Structure 1
Amino acid sequence: MIFKKRQFSSYFIIGIIILTICNNAFAQKISQFNIAQYGAIGDGKKLNTEVIQKVIDMANEKGGGRVIIPDGRFLSGTLQLKSNVELYLEKKAVLLGSTNPFDYKKIPMPGLPKSPKTDDHPQMALLVAYNATNISISGKGLINGQGRDLALNVDSLHQNGIVVDPHYSVGANRPNEKMRPKLIGFADCKKVKLTGVSFKNSSCWGLTFELCADMILDGIKLTNRAYWNNDGMDITDCKNVKITNCYINAADDGICLKSYYPGHFNDSIYVSKCTVISGASAVKFGTASYGGFKNVSIENIKIFDTFRSAIAIESVDGGIIENIKVNHIRAKNTGNAIFIRLGHRDGVTPGVVKNIYMGDIRVEIPFQRADIKYDIRADEPGYHNPFPSSITGIPGYKVQNVVLENIRITYPGRATKGQAYFALSRIGKISEKIQNYPEFSMFGELPAWALYVRHAQGITMRNVTLKLKNDDFRPALVFDDVDGVSLNEIKLPNLNKKEIFLKDVQNVKIDNALNSKK
């Protein structure tokens, strides 16, 4: 066969490309380490901590690789994931947390900055990583912490005087979270990736990350309802985090951003396309808020059966919250829609809460408890009518520049003065509760059914529809000590009463607010 010069050149180039691809594939071939080949036994009874840790260490020492958890039930205590190691769980693989508290240990983390809140975060966990780079957990398997049995065993140690919990809650009959292992505790790590894996049943919080950077959490299913105080994901002072396509069902807060370290922030956080069910708040900033939160975008979130707030944004420890965007939220059977709070629980001076945009939000508030069907339920506040959303600062420190746009919230109504009553004539008597734990119910009975705003500056509401399923004697909107209120296209129920109440409010602009009177 005779080739023309142009044909030869083409075939030569194609050959070089194929050779390059093959060479790259060979160079990038992942070293694989199947734990069963090194003696791990997946019968759910044999403790495999030592074997699995040796395999992880081996992969790390050889420059990295994939540690495979094959089909089976592999029992283990604390494991430390190390740089360049991927923990891969096959489809029928289960990494089973031991129910023996003595199988867990605290990994020293000497490089973490000091926190006013605690000196030993992220505490004990089934999977720990510290100062590691390029680590991942992937596959289609399950990590099961067996949290209820583990927590009850921790409790038994305390009751029998074997390991005494100095912070044991006598009134609630339960051990403190410091004594109960989590599923994941990563700190000071970079290039972290969790994809596809299912997690369930921690004895404490589920997945915790502190001072980490460049993280991807995608396609995770997390069911954490084994015990009290079961948060879903806790992201603390991390940078460049992307959380997408996740399902979280938690007995406590679902996706929780925290800040334990002054001078550090949760910065550049993106959360999208997640479904959250929570016994507390679905998406929450705080309560720990020493450094702060900035440049956070949350969108396309579905929320169901959540006892407290769909979105809670809180700074009470001196932290700064700024440049927050919340968009396209759908929440059903949720006790509260929006809770924004600037308080002063801890820290030298109060923090800052400013520049918050919340748009395209639909929430349905029930009359009954939203968590009524769960076996683990939160404390019920005292006598009250249905709570409104709220935006509150404290005297001298105002929440600044909040935009609520394209919002529709449906409230149950049925408020009665026989259940609870706070007359508008006594509005100045509502307690400030400056140092209290922040919660949508913290003020007790409030004189509004839809939104209560106090100590704020620059509140804009555009195209907001507020609905009632039944009558409510309170006005829809109450503003107290607010500088700058802009209401445009506010749709309120067709009721023969004043729906907007203003006290000590300056620079007010109301356009096209239906069925309302100033």
Structure 2
Amino acid sequence: MYKYLFLFFLMLSGVVARAQHTTGVWDVYQLGAKGDGKTMDTQAIQSAIDQCHQAGGGKVYLHNGTFLSGTIYLKSNVTLYVEAGATLLGSANVDDYPIIPSKYPSYTGELVTNKMLIYAEDARAISIQGRGTIDGRGDDFDGPYLSPSFSGRPRIIHFRNCENVQVRDVTLYNSGSWVQSYQSCKNMLIDGITVDSRENKDIEKPRYATVRGRNTDGLDLVDCERVRISNCFINSGDDAICLKSFSPGEACRDITITNCIVSSNASGIKIGTETSGAFEDITIQNCVVYDTRVDAISIMTVDGARVERINVSNITVRNIKGAAIFIRLGARNRPYRKDAKINAPILRDVRVDNVQGTRIGGFGCSVTGLPGMKVENVVLSRINLEFTGGNFPLDVDKSTVASTSAPLTQAAILQEINREVPENVKAYPRGEMFGRLPAYGFYIRHVKNITLDQVQLRFAQDDHRPALICDDVEGLELSGLQAQGTSATPALLRLVNVQNAVISGSRPIFEVPLFLSVQGKESKGIVLQNNVLKNAKQKVVAEKGAQKSVVVEL
């Protein structure tokens, strides 16, 4: 009798396997999953993935339940499908996320996988889809803040050296660390996803007012190529969308980011800070960045990367505590691979067009290189920004005006405007790295060939700083600037050691004492043409070593 029962169950299991093979769908319930949110379903889900992969591919189906799991390993030609109403729930036990050997180096250079809920390595044609939720259960983990490696706080998704990848429609919720990280992957589509992983949600409070941070970047691309990110909503505890490079010989290239809405407790859309290899042919367009603590748009090289052919367009920003636009070439020179060579940094051919924003913080936007290492070929066009303004000291750590601060005195304001801005060669790059800049709008230093076209700058509260300061700039074209100043603004524009500049079609919005201050003995070849200066009591003053003859008015 037992023999016949055994044969019956064997035949039944064969029917199930054949049915799944025929339909291409592996239902995890049929492989022993409970979906009750209490029983560990890791083995059932992994069995479904393994069988699907061995059969040549198909869909692993999670539906009508909450599936508790530790690390699962996605394999070639497998789609993990989380149906609407279903949840893949990460285990609260850190031991359910093993660190195992890998072919590929981690953030620290070690050949290990790190900890994550869903992992794939050397896989092809993989995807995560569905309108369900993947819950990383981040609130249940503890560990140091900087922890993409060994902290005991797992990520939700980590793919390495995978090709033909799709992540669509799912909600990624409450991660313990980076929400999703894609390293050395090619041909990827990330579309229509929601990331909801933000501790300390109130942007008006200090960053860690409620709980400690977890370094929960919303989406990280590390040395990835041919990537399309579109139609995503990301609300993250750290950088929302961040492109990185860990390897001097690799690159992020051929990437588009479009139609995304992001909010962050750090930066919105960012190239950096890990910048070892190259970033090229990247387009960012039609996005909204709001309620963001650091910078809205950041483009940088600080660890030796070559960054070129970057296009940013049609961006709206609101309530940005740092800078709306931050472009930086620095020399922190941090290696992420053992014995790695640090490349010579390059940052050139950047175009930022049609950016509008209000409630931009008081630090000021910046485009800065280093002495002897200039940012090259930058175009800022159709920029319309309103800053919060106000002549208050700023708390760099909180990115807000200190609540007990009194307004700066006029003497303190002049000292601030005339202070020498430190180079901060090795500092962590972000808009607040120089402190409150001498210009409320744009501070531009160590740059070759920059165009500002149809730029509008204004403030909500009086701010006595110049709208624009350029220092050590070769090749400046300033066209159609409309900028606000006050009766206490020393000069609306200041050029320091600037060579070969044309300022045309520009005007102060309100009355200012002086339109242009030219400083420095290296200044030369400055042309004023067709500017409307009825709101300027004086047009030009040459001072601090500059000769008035270097300015020609046509």
TM-score where L is the length of structure 1: 0.84
Q: Does 1:402 align with 2:375?
A: no
Match of 1:24 in 2: none
Match of 1:35 in 2: 28
Matching residue's letter, 1:239? E
Q: Equivalent residues in 2 for 1:293-372 (5 A)?
A: 293-335=279-321, 336-346=323-333, 348-366=342-360
Match of 1:413 in 2: 389
Match of 1:463 in 2: 454
Distance 1:283 1:357, change over 3 A: same
Q: Distance in 2 between matches of 1:210 and 1:133?
A: 14
Q: Distance in 1 between matches of 2:106 and 2:87?
A: 35
Deviation digits for residues 317-358 of structure 1, max 9, x if unmatched?
Answer: 000110000000011111220001100111635411100000
Tell me, which stretches of 5 or more residues in structure 2 are unaligned? 1-20, 200-212, 334-340, 393-406, 509-514, 517-539, 541-554
Tell me, which stretches of 5 or more residues in structure 1 are unaligned? 1-27, 156-167, 368-385
Superposed displacement of residue 254, structure 1: 0.2
Superposed displacement of residue 117, structure 1: 4.8
Q: Does 1:452 align with 2:443?
A: yes
Residue 78 of structure 1, aligned match among 43, 68, 71: 71
Distance 1:286 1:29, change over 3 A: farther
Match of 1:423 in 2: 415
Matching residue's letter, 2:329? L
Superposed displacement of residue 29, structure 1: 7.2
- Native 8 Å contact 2:262 2:288 kept in 1: yes
Superposed displacement of residue 177, structure 1: 5.3
Distance 1:55 1:248, change over 3 A: same
Q: Equivalent residues in 2 for 1:70-219 (5 A)?
A: 70-110=63-103, 112=104, 117-120=108-111, 123-149=114-140, 151-152=141-142, 155=143, 168=144, 178-179=150-151, 180-219=153-192
Distance 1:278 1:116, change over 3 A: closer
Q: Does 1:241 align with 2:235?
A: no
Deviation digits for residues 346-391 of structure 1, max 9, x if unmatched?
Answer: 1635411100000010111356xxxxxxxxxxxxxxxxxx110001
Deviation digits for residues 471-514 of structure 1, max 9, x if unmatched?
Answer: 11110101111111100000012644421001111011000110
Q: Distance in 2 between matches of 1:267 and 1:122?
A: 24
Q: Distance in 2 between matches of 1:30 and 1:309?
A: 48
Deviation digits for residues 159-210 of structure 1, max 9, x if unmatched?
Answer: xxxxxxxxx57xxxx8675321100000000000011111101100101000
Taking every aligned residue pair, what percent have the same amino acid on both sides?
38
Deviation digits for residues 429-454 of structure 1, max 9, x if unmatched?
Answer: 32111011101111113211101011
Distance 1:221 1:176, change over 3 A: closer
Point out the more displaced range, 48-57 or 317-326: 48-57
Distance 1:185 1:505, change over 3 A: same
Superposed displacement of residue 424, structure 1: 7.0
Match of 1:47 in 2: 40
Q: Distance in 2 between matches of 1:358 and 1:483?
A: 19
Q: Does 1:509 align with 2:526?
A: no
* Aligned-partner SS, 2:296: strand
Matching residue's letter, 2:114? Q
Superposed displacement of residue 277, structure 1: 0.6
Deviation digits for residues 300-330 of structure 1, max 9, x if unmatched?
Answer: 0011100111101110000011000000001
- Native 8 Å contact 1:64 1:84 kept in 2: yes
Matching residue's letter, 1:418? L
- Native 8 Å contact 2:464 2:485 kept in 1: no
- Native 8 Å contact 2:133 2:170 kept in 1: yes
Matching residue's letter, 1:341? R
- Native 8 Å contact 1:246 1:274 kept in 2: yes
Superposed displacement of residue 228, structure 1: 2.4
Matching residue's letter, 1:178? F
- Native 8 Å contact 1:449 1:477 kept in 2: yes
Residue 239 of structure 2, aligned match among 229, 249, 253: 253
Distance 1:175 1:276, change over 3 A: closer
Matching residue's letter, 2:89? L
- Native 8 Å contact 2:464 2:486 kept in 1: no
Q: Distance in 2 between matches of 1:330 and 1:176?
A: 31
- Native 8 Å contact 1:422 1:446 kept in 2: no
Provide the aligned C-alpha RMSD in A: 2.1
Distance 1:446 1:218, change over 3 A: same
Point out the more displaced range, 469-478 or 186-195: 469-478
> How many positions carry a matched residue from both structures?
452
Match of 2:261 in 1: 275
Q: Distance in 1 between matches of 2:138 and 2:414?
A: 43
- Native 8 Å contact 2:106 2:149 kept in 1: no
Residue 476 of structure 2, aligned match among 485, 488, 492: 485
Match of 1:434 in 2: 425
- Native 8 Å contact 1:337 1:365 kept in 2: no
Q: Distance in 1 between matches of 2:80 and 2:41?
A: 15
* Aligned-partner SS, 1:58: helix
- Native 8 Å contact 2:115 2:149 kept in 1: no
Q: Distance in 2 between matches of 1:389 and 1:425?
A: 15
* Aligned-partner SS, 1:36: helix
Distance 1:276 1:120, change over 3 A: farther
Q: Distance in 2 between matches of 1:244 and 1:29?
A: 33
TM-score where L is the length of structure 2: 0.78
Superposed displacement of residue 463, structure 1: 0.6
